[in-house]
Amino acid sequence: MTQFSTIRDIANVWPSHAAFAAAVVKQVDQGLNAEAVRKWVPKNSIPSKYWQAVVAAAHQVGADVTADTLMQIHAAQINRATIKPSTCVPEHFEKGLK
């Protein structure tokens, strides 16, 4: 089973990011274009309203992508963006001890 830790990992299941974008767009009735999908890869983020389309497109090519996979990728992305080493210094913890 393939481990997916980034949106790029998911997109790389297809022969190109354009193919990934086309497969996802095909799953959505309207309101999404391939250019928008291609922008998800460098951002490492997919709007949650399109997760079902990504999961369906992935399953069509035999990739085991689930909503849980997407949740884990996004949670890791949020953690990397919000938790900075400087916020974990002892003085932050000492305030609670006094």
When mean pLDDT is compared across 22-26, 45-49, 54-58, 91-95, the lowest value belongs to 91-95
Residue 48 is assigned to a structural domain of this protein: yes
**Rounded Cα distance, 24 and 50, in Å:** 8
Residue 28 is assigned to a structural domain of this protein: yes
* Higher local confidence (pLDDT), 83 or 16: 16
Mean pLDDT confidence for 14-20: 96
Residue 2 is assigned to a structural domain of this protein: no
Residue 53 is assigned to a structural domain of this protein: yes
For the whole model, what pTM was predicted? 0.78
In contact, 54 and 41? CB cutoff 8 Å: no
**Rounded Cα distance, 92 and 68, in Å:** 32
Residue 1 is assigned to a structural domain of this protein: no
Range of 76's domain? Answer: 7-97
Residue 44 is assigned to a structural domain of this protein: yes
Q: In the chain, how many domains are there?
A: 1
